[in-house]
Structure 1
Amino acid sequence: MQSATMDPAEEPPSMLWGLDPIFSAFARLYVRDILQMTESTQVPGIYFYNLHPIYKVDVLGTVVYRRERDDFFCYGVDDGTGVINCLCWKNDLFKEEGGPTKSGEKHSDVAHGSFNLVAELEKLRQAQQRRCRLEIGELLRVRGPVKTSRQQREIMASTYYRVNDPVMSVQIAWMMDVPQLYRQCYDKPFQLQPDATGDSAISSLSKATNLIKDFFKEKSVTRFRPYDVQDLLQPLISSQPQTTPADQKPVAGPSACQQLRQLLKEVLQILQDEGTVYRRVKSQDEVYHVTAHDKDLLIAVKDIIHEDSKRDKYAEKGCHILHILSAVRQRHSLNVSKTALELVLKSLECNSDIVSTSDNHYTVF
């Protein structure tokens, strides 16, 4: 496999790599993507997936070939998307061959039934050998930096071990976690770029969201309509016409008014996803309630917990958050999200109106 390198013009500056949390983590990537990652032109040994700088990975797969040398093992690991070579070094304890056993026999004659340090070290060495010397078909987990040797991509293992998974619980959990990591992290490109002052630039969407939140906090807004806050975002919309070369026809783009409406729409969606706002009734008259300042919602949640905690079913542990959510939707509004309810529960707990008995159960004093 040829080691592809990224176009220097597309590659993020190396001084910004540390701002990406994936850079300092062991990325759980599919082997197929590890083999196809492009290598940095700035720093050899750094690779890019969707502009995310990556140099160490975490892989779980089946051993499909093995080679053993005096100092290391070479395991071919197949995770279902591809096969990658993993170079797994032996440590000094592993490389000792039979040394402690002879001396252990002498000590065992002297100390009958007492703790024998040499014998215990021998047991430890044998246990480590069993964990590190894998056969074809066994499950291996490998963590370490990615390297390219002889034009072949491989993993230099810093940690590796056999995974005992008779009912495939580890593999199932892995297959559920990795796609979620792709959706939430890896498939979202690293877009942070420096501005003219060298500081990280915050997108217009983030600025707009923070601007609306500050307005809610400063004015103690309980409810609003979109046109009430639309003018706050006006300074973020560029009203200057775009210039085009004389030999090209001007390209029609969205007007400032259209940009403003689209930005406001995206901000309101983010605020709803975060639970900051919600619509009690969905109608043509778009009225949004600010969750933290909606006294009716806080009272409804508090009353539900107070009443239902007296029932035998919830007397010991309190009310589960999903039970509270169901009751709130029946009594108050069908449009209350779980994230909005979590904000309300946090506020009530800070005010000592309720207390959490576990991560998801709440009761009153």
Structure 2
Amino acid sequence: MDRSLQNTHAKLMSRDIHRLRPSPTEANCFSLGGISWVSRVETVGTIVSRDMTPNFLKFSVDDGTGCVTCIMWLNQLTSRYFNRLDQSTILLYSRAARKQAAEVRIGAVARVRGRVGLYRGVMQITATVVVTERDPNAEILHWLECVRLGRSCYRIRS
């Protein structure tokens, strides 16, 4: 198994994220074109939905090839997962997540990085970084990079 993309954010379009297939042997790993395995992805698109609760922000990103659902957890202060970290680190994570969540607005173009996974049978990104793009060319440049990487590295056929 080629693990070269496992600890890297693979730049993918929504269409390709939804084409990922779970590994039969590796937890939280997905097959990309039958050659490489990914667990983290990066995508760029327009935010088309937004639902915020005290514990998480759920939003969808549309890049023209489809929509992918993203979730950003905001419960760092109360989550058992973060209990193993010191309080100042937890506070730092919490502030960063809330600041990024505030920038997620419908109609904005955003770059999303995070872990990819299946939730109720559909691919989803658990976002760790969400950045609002100010460059009007960011989305098309991402598309071009995805096509180039798909052909040369990921071996994705269009």
**TM-score normalised over the length of structure 2:** 0.76
Aligned: 1:186 with 2:150: no
**Aligned-partner SS, 1:23:** coil
State the structure with bigger RCO (CA 8 A, min sep 6), 1 or 2: 2
Q: CA deviation at 1:151?
A: 1.5
Match for 2:37 among 46, 53, 59? 53
Query: Quick one: which amino acid aligns to residue 157 of structure 1?
Result: A
2:129 corresponds to: 159
**Aligned-partner SS, 2:11:** coil
Q: Distance in 1 between matches of 2:118 and 2:156?
A: 25
What does residue range 66-145 of structure 1 map to in structure 2 within 5 Å?
Answer: 66-90=50-74, 131-133=100-102, 134-145=104-115
Runs of 4+ in structure 1 displaced over 3 angstroms?
127-131
Preserved CA contact (<8 Å) 2:74 2:97: no
Considering only aligned residues, what root-mean-square deviation do their CA atoms show, in Å?
2.4
Q: CA deviation at 1:45?
A: 1.9
Preserved CA contact (<8 Å) 1:39 1:45: yes
- Count of residues in correspondence between the two structures: 138
Query: Quick one: which amino acid aligns to residue 119 of structure 2?
Result: S
Aligned: 1:29 with 2:29: no
1:172 corresponds to: 140
The percent identity for this pair of structures is 29
Query: Quick one: which amino acid aligns to residue 61 of structure 1?
Result: G
Q: Structure 1, unaligned stretches of length 5 or more?
A: 1-15, 94-124, 190-365
Query: Quick one: which amino acid aligns to residue 33 of structure 1?
Result: D
The C-alpha deviation readout for 1:224-261, integer Å capped at 9, x for no partner, is: xxxxxxxxxxxxxxxxxxxxxxxxxxxxxxxxxxxxxx
**Aligned-partner SS, 2:153:** helix
Q: Structure 2, unaligned stretches of length 5 or more?
A: 78-94
Preserved CA contact (<8 Å) 1:56 1:146: yes
Query: Quick one: which amino acid aligns to residue 34 of structure 1?
Result: I
**TM-score normalised over the length of structure 1:** 0.35
Q: Which has the higher helix share?
A: 1
Q: Distance in 2 between matches of 1:136 and 1:181?
A: 28
Q: Distance in 1 between matches of 2:68 and 2:139?
A: 18
Q: Which has the higher strand share?
A: 2
